[in-house]
Amino acid sequence: MKFFSLILLFFFYNSLATILCKKPTNYSDYISWCYSKNITILPSLKFSPVYKNTKLIPKFFCNSNDTIPKDTLLITIPSSIILNITKILSLINSSELSKQYKDFMTQVELYEDEYSSEFKKDEAFLSYIFYQVHKKLKKIIKSKFYKEYKYYINSVQLNSENDPLFFDDVTLNKLYLSYINTLYTKTKRNYEEETYIFKSDSYYKKDIDFEEYLPIRLAITNTGLAISEQKIMVPLLNLIQTDYIKYNTNYTLASDGTIKIYSTKDIKYGDEILFFSPEMSNAKRLLFEGKTYEELNYYFDEYLIPAFGISLYVKFNIMDSDLEFNNYLNLLESDFTENAVDIYNEHRDILKDDRNREDDTDLGWPYEILLNNIKAFNIYMQNFTNDKIYEYFEEKEERINIERVIIGDRKILEQAYKKAERKASKYIDLSSRRTDDDEETKGEL
C-alpha cells in the first residue's frame, strides 16, 4: 500500500493538554511510528493540523476526489500493538507493580457501581502507571513499555477541542444543585480516594500531586476503548476526533484482536474522519470532554441527586456532612421512591421529631421528605435562568453548554417530582402541598 505523505508539523499544546511529557509531541514522528508498527491507513486519508478554539488540533480528512463508500476499511490496527493492563505490566516486568495490581483489583473496594467497578479500577491503575511515566520513574522509563511505546505514551492527551469543566471547581460551585455538580463531586471523591491509596506505603510511597494526577486520569478515561470490562489503549485512535451525532466511522474487533476502523457512511472530499462516541448525557460529556449536543437535552440511565440535599440539612439541622455524599437517588430508576423511603427510614432518628420517632404507623413522612428534597432541586434549576447564565459564564460556548445541561435537568426533576407525588398520594394529602408549591415556585431556594 502506498503511504500518503505526512505534513511535518509540531503540535504545541498547553500544559493541561500535554499530559504525559513536558516537551511538545511531534505527531509526525508518532504517525511514522504507527506505520513502523504495521498500522495501515487508506491512502485517500490525509493527516493535517487545524486551529480550533485557538488550539492546534490533529485531524484526519478525506483527501480524495473520489467518495469513500460506506463500509470501506479505513484503518487497520494490529493486535500486536494494542495495549491493555496485562500487556503493559508484562512489558514493564516489575514484580512489585504486578503484585500491586493484583492486590488493588482483588482487595481494594472502590465505587458503588458493582457493574463497572472492576473496569473503573482497571482505568485507575492504568492512570497510576502513566502517572509514574509522568514522574519519570526509572523502573518505567527504562522498561520495554516506554522504549517500545514512547511515541504513543507521549501522545496520550485530552482528546478534546474544548477544556473539560472537570478542572474548574469555581464553575461547578455555581451549579451547586445541578446533576453535573453532583457527578463532579462524586467522581472527584473517587479520584481522590485513588490517589490516597496509590501514595500509601504499599504503592507509590511518595506524595501524589492530585492536580497532576487528575488530567492523567481523565486522559485515560477519554482514550482507548472499553472491551470486556478492560480499558484497551489503541495507538493512532487517540488522534481521531469523536462525535456522537456526526460520526462517520466505527470499529470492529477481529477474532485475533485486530481493530478495524471502517466508514459508516459515504465520506466526501474534505470531510473530517470522526469516530463514534459512546452514548452519554450532556452533563457527563461536558464534564469529561468539554462539549455538548443540542439534540441531547435529556438523560439516559442516570440522574443522581443526594438523598440528603442542602434543604434537608437546613430543615433538620443535620451535622453529619457525609450523609450527602454517601446516599444518592437515581431519579431515572423505576424504584427511586422506594429507595428514598428505605434511606429515610434508616435515618429516622434525625428526620422525625420526638413525638413521631417511634410511630411506625405513619407511612407518609418519608414521602414528605422526598418531595421536599426534589422540590428544592427543581426550584433551584427553574430559577437558573439565562440571566444567571450570563452573569456566571463569560464565554459564548460555555453559556450554550450550560443552558443545554440545565434544560435536561429541569425535565428530569419535573418528571421525578410528578412520579414521587403519585406514589406519595397513597399516604399524604397533596392538596395543601400544591398550594405551597405555587407560592414558592417563583421564589429563590
What single string gives the DSSP state of each residue in 197-211?
A: HHTSTTTT-S---HH
Report whether pLDDT(301) > 70: yes
- Residue 351: phi and psi, rounded to 5, are -115, -5
Q: Quick one: pLDDT at residue 434?
A: 60
d(CA 167, CA 211): 9
CA angle 278, 243, 212 (to 5 degrees): 75
C-alpha cell at 320: 453529619
Instruction: Read off the pTM.
Output: 0.85
Residue 26 pLDDT: 62
Residue 306's pLDDT band, with cuts at 50, 70 and 90, is: very high
- Whether the predicted pLDDT of 2 surpasses 60: no
Q: What would the pLDDT profile of 57-102 be if each residue is shown by its tens digit?
A: 778 899 999 999 999 999 999 999 999 999 999 999 999 999 999 9
- What pLDDT is stored for residue 54 in this prediction? 65
Average pLDDT on 433-437 reads 57
Name the pLDDT band for 167 (thresholds 50, 70, 90). Answer: low
Q: Please determine, for residue 176, whether its predicted confidence score (pLDDT) is greater than 60.
A: yes
pLDDT at residue 355 greater than cutoff 50:
no
Report d(CA 58, CA 49) in Å as an integer. 5
Percent of the chain beyond pLDDT 70? Answer: 84
pLDDT of residue 10: 26
Residue 351 has pLDDT above 50, yes or no: yes
- 103 to 128, 276, 301, 366: CA distances (angstroms): 14, 34, 31, 41
State pLDDT tens for residues 194-210: 999 999 999 999 999 99
Residue 42: per-residue pLDDT: 95
> pLDDT confidence of 157, banded at 50, 70, 90?
low
- Can you give the residue ranges of every domain in the chain? 1-292, 304-440
pLDDT of residue 426 exceeding 50, the answer is yes
The superfamily CATH assigns to domain 1-292 is set domain protein methyltransferase, domain 1 (3.90.1410.10)
- Reported as a single tens digit per residue, the pLDDT across 110-127 is 876 656 788 899 999 999
